């Protein structure tokens, strides 16, 4: 025979409700925000690798540079598309407003990364990467 007093029953229900709310917050708020920041750091790493490779190659003709650096740009574009998808579909609306107030724009960064493959001058590439980093709030 089980005897439950009212305070024990209230504690059980309250702990269940708190656990359920915590699960929802973690699943729908914290995980997407962490995924957004992780993807943003990976884009930063990809762009840094691309810039390093461009600097090492120097002023070689554009076809050779494009062939060797295409995988690096492809990876950066994929990550930028993931970041844009995360920004548009996954992160909570209130966090998107916060990013807008910080003037972060993953959509604009994706556009800049896409046009990066058309550039052949090292200074223009560096400028484009700096613009992309500023649109992502990276320094």
pLDDT above 70: percentage of residues in the chain: 89
pLDDT per position as a tens digit, 13-69: 999 999 999 999 999 999 999 999 999 999 999 999 998 888 887 655 555 555 667
Distance, CA of 57 to CA of 51 (rounded, Å): 10
The pTM assigned to this predicted structure is 0.84
Please report the pLDDT score of residue 120 as a whole number.
78
Q: Give the total number of structural domains in the chain.
A: 1
Residue 1 pLDDT level (bands cut at 50, 70, 90): very low
108 vs 72 pLDDT, higher one: 108
Domain contains 1: no
Distance set, CA 50 to CA 14, 34, 40, 116 (Å): 52, 24, 15, 10
128 vs 68 pLDDT, higher one: 128
Domain contains 128: yes
Structural domain that includes position 82: 7-135
Distance, CA of 12 to CA of 120 (rounded, Å): 65
Distance, CA of 46 to CA of 97 (rounded, Å): 26
Residue 18 CB contacts under 8 Å (≥ 6 apart), including other chains:
none
Please report the pLDDT score of residue 9 as a whole number.
87
């Amino acid at each position: 025979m089980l005897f439950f007093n009212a305070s024990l029953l209230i504690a059980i229900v309250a702990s269940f409700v708190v656990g359920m709310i915590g699960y929802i917050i973690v699943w729908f708020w914290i995980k997407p925000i962490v995924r957004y920041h992780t993807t943003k750091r990976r884009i930063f790493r990809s762009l840094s690798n691309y810039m390093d490779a461009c600097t090492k190659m120097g002023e070689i003709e554009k076809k050779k540079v494009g062939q060797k650096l295409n995988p690096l740009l492809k990876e950066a574009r994929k990550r930028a598309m993931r970041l844009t998808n995360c920004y548009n579909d996954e992160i909570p609306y209130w966090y998107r407003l916060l990013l807008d107030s910080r003037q972060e724009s993953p959509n604009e960064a994706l556009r800049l990364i896409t046009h990066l493959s058309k550039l052949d001058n090292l200074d223009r590439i560096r400028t484009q990467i700096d613009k992309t980093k500023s649109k992502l709030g990276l320094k």
